[in-house]
Amino acid sequence: MTATTTATPTAAPQAGRLVATKGHGTQNDFVLLDDRDGALDLTPALVRALCERRAGVGGDGVIRLVATAHVDDAPAAARAARWFMDYRNADGSVAQMCGNGVRVFAAYAQHLGLWDPAAGPLDVGTRAGLRTVAQVPADVGAGPWFAVGMGAVTLPGGATAVSDGGDAHVDVAGLAVTRPGLSVDVGNPHTVVVLADGADLARADLTVAPDVAPVPHDGTNVELVVPLGEEAGPDGHPRGHVRMRVHERGVGETRSCGTGAVAAAAAVRAWGGDQAPDVWLVDVPGGTVRVTLHADGQAELAGPATLVAELDVDLAALPA
């Protein structure tokens, strides 16, 4: 899609119609809405209807681009950004952050003429705080990629959870035994489960939400991960490699999850000890992303973002 310089917001319904854009990051797909002035009443029902794959547009979530000044619940740390990523899960619930979504948000801002990557990084407000996006060369496939500063990554259970093998018990449909899981906070909650091989990963039935105990207060995303060893990166330094599937709270299984990729890399590195790499390639059903875990606890996520269509949505035709 070629860049445009839209002069006025387009998301506010006009005569029962809504302009939207469809995009994805490693096939984690979104309906994008340009609502700079905050005029759109983005109800849970509208989100569910837009995300419905058979009778709506279809998507894992809705991303609304809005001026941060119009977002009443924007955290203080996010208010330095001009633009805010208002992200909603496919079930209509509000989400703090989406790592794939913020890359697609940046590509969308560029498409709208609101950001020029050559002028420097883009600050994006999110409910998890401020995120900064830059355009970078691709690691895999055609470029460019977008690299996102994901903020601090923490292990709520600390070193004890790591040494104990985890701080949760996870039952996954299709797998015979309960598995240990490690809680990881990437601005939203995750529980990472390491599996022995690809056969277990393939057997897992993620049409059913994994049962996690103890049950997290706000629910959790669950990542199933198979370590693939280490390889030399372009700079000659070793980097880890894992394969992942994910069940996202409020959505179900998705083709990719950016924060989940960060959580998976952080958990596998923690279990690997001090000699484990800081850079990880994470293969998901929708492609590959790169996670860099810095010594100060901050993480960076890099990967592709693609805009595929502009849509004129007839609101009356959406499912009730």
CA–CA separation, 3 and 63 (whole Å): 18
Supply the pLDDT for residue 84: 99
Q: Are residues 114 and 38 in the same domain?
A: yes
Q: What is the mean pLDDT of residues 296-319?
A: 97
pLDDT (tens digit, 9 = 90+) per residue, 50-89? 999 999 999 999 999 999 999 999 999 999 999 999 999 9
211 and 281 both lie in a single domain: yes
Q: Name the catalytic one among 106, 206, 224, 257.
A: 257
Residue 31 is assigned to a structural domain of this protein: yes
98, 104, 270, 291: the catalytic one is: 98
* pLDDT above 80: residue 10: no
SS3 260: helix
Q: Which residues span the domain enclosing 279?
A: 158-296
Specify whether 164 is located in the same domain as 203.
yes
**CA atoms of 22 and 272, how far apart (whole Å):** 39
What is the residue-averaged pLDDT of the chain?
A: 94
User: Where does the pLDDT of residue 1 fall: very low under 50, low under 70, confident under 90, or very high at 90 and above?
Assistant: low
Predicted pLDDT of residue 153: 97
| pLDDT at residue 6 greater than cutoff 60 | no
My answer on whether 180 and 276 are in the same domain is yes
What pLDDT is attached to residue 141? 78
**SS3 label, residue 263:** helix
Which pTM was predicted?
0.90
Please give the tally of structural domains in the chain. Answer: 2
Question: Which of 225, 149, 150 is CA-nearest to residue 191?
Answer: 225
b/e map 60-89, b = 16+ CB within 10 Å: bbbbbbbbbeebeebeeebeebbbbbbbbb
Q: In this structure, are 132 and 167 located in the same domain?
A: no
pLDDT at 233 over 90: no
Tell me: do 191 and 275 sit in the same domain: yes
In a domain, 7, yes or no: no
Does 295 score more than 50 pLDDT?
Answer: yes
Asked about 257 being catalytic, the answer comes back as yes
